[in-house]
Amino acid sequence: MTIGANPVVRWTAPEGQWTEPDLHLFPQDGHRYEIVDGSLHVTPPLNGPHEAVVQAVVTLLRDAAPSGWWVCARLGVAVGASNLVPDVTVLRPRSSGAIWADPADVALVVEVETDTSRRYDRLLKPALYADARIETYWRIEPDRSPVLHTYALGPDGYVHEKTLQGADLVKVDAPFPVRVSPSAWL
């Protein structure tokens, strides 16, 4: 190695599908590395406003969570041949504590949209979470005035329940009762 030179990290794609151990090849560089049905998906590093909304939602949910519930930022969920990393994951009491959460332990997943994740957060990830039978999904549009869309699992996927925005506190019942005011998140 030459002093002062930046060594280039080299890796090769697997012969077949990507699997969870392959995710350990990547640096902790702010990108989000996920596997969807054996294919790699990479999201660019997230910006400050996105992180502010994620932290505000984590704080809100932790403050409202009953004893024994866990609220985690970026805890991965293993869904069949997919390894997804929601912005926020809420685990039921007595969950397995595995590095990749079992969907049976997950009561809520939250995705905060970005320009590069909008379609992924609106179309693909909710379908995968619903297939895994995760009961509740929240999607947040974080623009100047955040908007929260709540969904509950129905027989054929998620059913839209509420769209919340503004400063008024509104009660949301799932995964546990919590009062939400999206405009307070920025």
CB burial of 155-183 (b: ≥16 within 10 Å; e: otherwise) equals: eeebeebeebbeeeeeebebbbebebbbe
Residue 42 scores a pLDDT above 90: yes
Per-residue pLDDT, averaged over 85-95, amounts to 95
Average model confidence (pLDDT) across the chain: 92
Q: Percent of the chain scored above 90 by pLDDT?
A: 79
Q: From CA 10, how far away is CA 33, in angstroms rounded?
A: 16
Residue 143 scores a pLDDT above 50: yes
User: Is the whole-model pTM more than 0.75?
Assistant: yes
Structural domains in the chain, CATH included, are: 30-185 (3.90.1570.10)
The pLDDT tens digits for 57-71 are 999 999 999 999 999
